[in-house]
Structure 1
Amino acid sequence: MSKGRILIRNGHVIDTEPQPVAHAHTDVLIEGGKITAVGRNLRSKGAMVIDATDRIVLPGFVDTHRHVWHSALRSAAIDIDLGAYFRLLGQVGPKFRPQDVRIATLAGALECLDAGITTQLDFAHIAYSPELANAAVDALKEAGLRAVFAYGTPVNVTAGGKLADVRRIRERLADDNALVTMAYAPLGPLSTPMETVARDWRIADELDLPLTIHLASSPNNEQPIFALREAGLLREKTLYVHANGIGDDELKLIADSGATASATPGDEAGRLRRAGITTGTGIDTVAFAPGDMFSTMRAAHLAGQIAEDPQLTAKDVLRMATLDGAAAMGLADRTGSLRPGKQADVILLRLDDLNMLTAERDPIGAVVTEAQPHNVDTVLVAGKVVKAGGRLVHADLRRTARALRATAAAISGR
């Protein structure tokens, strides 16, 4: 469906800026792909009207970290340890052809949209060749969601071997205001020496790219943030993922640097927020975790409830999954809330489904603790309707499913 003047009428509207708040019987007006007004009894002349009665209306979810090509590896890493997981990736990654990366990325991106995730960072550590990187970018563009293609280094490839291709993809994704933009995802201090880290940081600066890296204490670098500070490499425009085993003193350095974090979700979310770090939520991988934000929000909320201090409220979690996630990715100027002037990335959830009946008494709590992907009725990205009546309207899901199954079988056979 083409984007034009759209009025979402009479919904239970949740905005997230400055803090999550719900308003009953409220309209959202969209013009030219942007939100122009939120309020009651807005004029609908010339607009396509979407009836939001018995619907929760809120900003689309923001997934700050996912290896999207893992849609072809769903449930392949259940009940194995981290070492076995990395060995699995090292075994199957080189078996992917460009057509495999394209269909796996397309299927993963469509899964995002189907579940109400309108913005997604693809930490694409499958770029063994320029052809594979191209295939991933092609798929993100085809899917129609707001995406950041984070050019990553495969786990068993020597870091730094792909710098020419990083520059090439940057030329392809030169428009930082487009629907699909770029970040750089080197291995970082987790597994590479600091001279390599410094070179990767220089490349990011040269190409004006945000950085995103996995972060943990490791034998290679037990205090990676201190190491970055000593090398003069702490900076803004850096999204740290996981922060497992990182001490409070290092978290403070991250906060002071202006960098951000992605919790996926674990119990680190509360610590990151307490340290003053803008923190979004991420799915990480469907190889061993659910692919929807509802499951991730519930996990974060439950982990936050059993934490000693501070506890995460439903409002905290919803903000992490929307506005804070957008801010963590440097996209808060265009998505993450319903503020007029922002891109119209909006989702509608059904309140008349059995699992959502009577949830209008606390729409925010219901989104975090009760809702499921099947409740997502309508999805708009930049004012374009991509899902309506519970079905994606711009994709051939049967063909995608056949191709993904064929790719998964072929990879197993290889």
Structure 2
Amino acid sequence: MKTLLTGGTVLSMDPAVGDLARGDVLIEDGVIVQVAAQIDAAGAGAGTEVIDATDRIVMPGFVDNHRHTWQTTFRGIGADWTFAEWDAAIHGTVKSHYRPDDVYWAVLLGRLEALHSGVTTMLDWFHCTLSPAHADAAVAALRDAPGRSIFCYGAGWGTPDPVEAEIRRVRGGLAGDGAAGDGLLTMAYGLRGPQDTGVEGLARELDLAAELGLRTSLHTVSDGIRRPIATLHEHGLLRDTTTFVHANGVSDEELRMLADAGSSVSVSPDVELRMGFGWPVTGRALAAGLRPTLSVDDVPSAAGDLFSAMRTAFAVQRGLDGGLRSRDLLASATVDAAGSCGLGTRTGSITPGKDADLILLRTDDLTVFPVTDPAATVVSAGHPGLVDTVLVAGRTVKRDGRLVDVEPAPLMARLRASRDRIAAAAGVPLDGTWHPEPKGW
């Protein structure tokens, strides 16, 4: 099957391909085969589907490498919370009341939201691992959503022991989906970290991940006194397959350690600033030789689209030192994030040979018209309302501003009922008056 996108403004995010003020993209069997100023539709062959991309920016789909979609249920409830309040509320109060079906509806709606806003690839950092059934429900939801997803099994936060047996079970169940990296649903390992397992425990988890062929992700921050990255460096535990989430407060020296090891950093600017983590490390990571990536983190506290994350990271860093460029942020949300997920050869740029994970953004919308600098416009003024069309591996999953074969209303009703049941069981109000008491902070 062939699809031809014609007449769009192409932001390829591939220096070898470049940008095209007016360009065409030819897709065959889900793979990009040609990018040119003009491709003859007749020459593409009979039966080629032609998508008119006039007045559209054609660019790679966004890649979010750190999002907790099981928390979609409580969207917006924690916008005013600190991290300690969020932890007491989400992990300490409501999580224990989640049933597997609650997980399913939250993850499904969260993944569909991401697709709707142009996120074609998403790593779902799942730490509602109350039972094997909860993990299976999350996997089922990601399988039912038509996006490229990575199920990151997050150990800790109540994970039943033995963790190793559960990681092996889930990895084995995903084998048929191509969990090693050749399918749309793959797997990663969310590490607990030395604060929970000790350095020796983290080493065992890294060995298990390597044995199973899984990339890893690890939350880390520093108060300026502790040196978490340096500790791992001293024990030889930095890997080029690990993404360090947040990294607020870590020293420039530690960031260089990550760069030397080939590790990556995921910045969640909206959550980090609202919860009091400190300044995002976007600019310092670049200066240290890293290619920072972007993520949403959680929607109880922040918006669920990468347009917002790009805009916040851009404004903050420009305010700090004025050095960040808009295209840096666009790379953070596409090609660099794809590389951090081990998918750099498959997605993240409009490159012949890569899968056709693409989005078409409207340029005839009054909020961005007239578009003079496409990359700068996407970063400074883009929003989910511009996402007209989304393709994942060549399949059109959103067309004319609507998800294909998805009727949102009944899904929303199920999630609303789930939220109300959990809130009632936990004894928490849903009227904006809940201010959880931090525990142990």
With the length of structure 2 as denominator, give the TM-score of the two structures.
0.89
| TM-fit CA distance, 1:312 | 1.3
Tell me which residue corresponds to 2:405. Answer: 394
Rounded Cα–Cα distance in structure 1 between residues aligned with 2:86 and 2:14: 38
Tell me which residue corresponds to 1:385. Answer: 396
Counterpart pick for 1:150 among 140, 152, 156: 152
Indicate the SS of the match to 1:400.
Answer: helix
Does residue 211 of the first structure (1) align with residue 216 of the second (2)?
yes
What code does the residue aligned with 2:163 have? K
Does residue 27 of the first structure (1) align with residue 39 of the second (2)?
no
Counterpart pick for 1:346 among 358, 371, 388: 358
1:267-286 deviations in whole A, cap 9, x for unaligned?
31111121112321000010
Rounded Cα–Cα distance in structure 2 between residues aligned with 1:366 and 1:332: 25
1:19-40 deviations in whole A, cap 9, x for unaligned?
8953122101000000000112
Indicate the SS of the match to 1:326.
Answer: helix
Counterpart pick for 1:323 among 324, 331, 335: 335
Tell me which residue corresponds to 2:368. Answer: 356
Is residue 294–residue 372 contact of structure 1 (8 Å, CA) maintained in 2? yes
Rounded Cα–Cα distance in structure 2 between residues aligned with 1:157 and 1:385: 37
| TM-fit CA distance, 1:76 | 1.8
Counterpart pick for 2:246 among 237, 242, 252: 242
Indicate the SS of the match to 2:247.
Answer: strand
What code does the residue aligned with 2:226 have? E
What code does the residue aligned with 1:23 have? L
Is residue 129–residue 159 contact of structure 2 (8 Å, CA) maintained in 1? no
| Superposed counterparts of 1:11-410, under 5 Å | 11-18=8-15, 21-45=18-42, 46=46, 47-90=48-91, 91-157=93-159, 161-174=162-175, 175=178, 176-217=181-222, 222-265=226-269, 267-308=280-321, 311-359=323-371, 361-410=372-421
Rounded Cα–Cα distance in structure 1 between residues aligned with 2:5 and 2:17: 19
| TM-fit CA distance, 1:303 | 1.3
Is residue 71–residue 107 contact of structure 1 (8 Å, CA) maintained in 2? yes
Rounded Cα–Cα distance in structure 1 between residues aligned with 2:195 and 2:80: 24
Tell me which residue corresponds to 2:273. Answer: none
Rounded Cα–Cα distance in structure 2 between residues aligned with 1:154 and 1:193: 13
Is residue 190–residue 217 contact of structure 1 (8 Å, CA) maintained in 2? no
Q: Which runs of 5+ in 2 are unaligned?
A: 270-278, 426-441
Is residue 294–residue 367 contact of structure 1 (8 Å, CA) maintained in 2? yes
Rounded Cα–Cα distance in structure 1 between residues aligned with 2:164 and 2:228: 23
1:196-220 deviations in whole A, cap 9, x for unaligned?
212211211221211101011269x
Is residue 126–residue 153 contact of structure 1 (8 Å, CA) maintained in 2? no
| TM-fit CA distance, 1:188 | 0.8
What code does the residue aligned with 1:200 have? E
Rounded Cα–Cα distance in structure 2 between residues aligned with 1:21 and 1:40: 11
1:259-299 deviations in whole A, cap 9, x for unaligned?
11111135311111211123210000101011011111100
Relative distance call for 1:377 and 1:136 in structure 2 (3 A) is same
Rounded Cα–Cα distance in structure 1 between residues aligned with 2:141 and 2:158: 24
Rounded Cα–Cα distance in structure 1 between residues aligned with 2:289 and 2:57: 30
Relative distance call for 1:230 and 1:409 in structure 2 (3 A) is same
| TM-fit CA distance, 1:62 | 0.5
1:279-338 deviations in whole A, cap 9, x for unaligned?
2100001010110111111001101211226x2111111011100110111111000000
| TM-fit CA distance, 1:173 | 2.1
1:27-64 deviations in whole A, cap 9, x for unaligned?
01000000000112212232111001111110000111
Rounded Cα–Cα distance in structure 1 between residues aligned with 2:201 and 2:16: 40
Tell me which residue corresponds to 2:438. Answer: none
Relative distance call for 1:297 and 1:370 in structure 2 (3 A) is same
Q: Which runs of 5+ in 1 are unaligned?
A: none
42-51 or 286-295, larger mean C-alpha shift? 42-51
1:67-111 deviations in whole A, cap 9, x for unaligned?
011110111212121111111122111111111101100000000
Counterpart pick for 1:6 among 3, 6, 9: 3
With the length of structure 1 as denominator, give the TM-score of the two structures.
0.95
250-259 or 197-206, larger mean C-alpha shift? 197-206
Is residue 363–residue 370 contact of structure 2 (8 Å, CA) maintained in 1? yes
Is residue 86–residue 155 contact of structure 1 (8 Å, CA) maintained in 2? no
Identity %: 42
Indicate the SS of the match to 1:406.
Answer: helix
What code does the residue aligned with 2:313 have? A
Indicate the SS of the match to 1:36.
Answer: strand
Rounded Cα–Cα distance in structure 1 between residues aligned with 2:151 and 2:384: 24
Is residue 279–residue 328 contact of structure 1 (8 Å, CA) maintained in 2? no
Is residue 310–residue 333 contact of structure 2 (8 Å, CA) maintained in 1? yes
Runs of 4+ in 1 over 4 A off after TM superposition: none
Is residue 123–residue 149 contact of structure 2 (8 Å, CA) maintained in 1? yes
RMSD of aligned C-alpha atoms?
Answer: 1.7
Rounded Cα–Cα distance in structure 1 between residues aligned with 2:89 and 2:211: 34
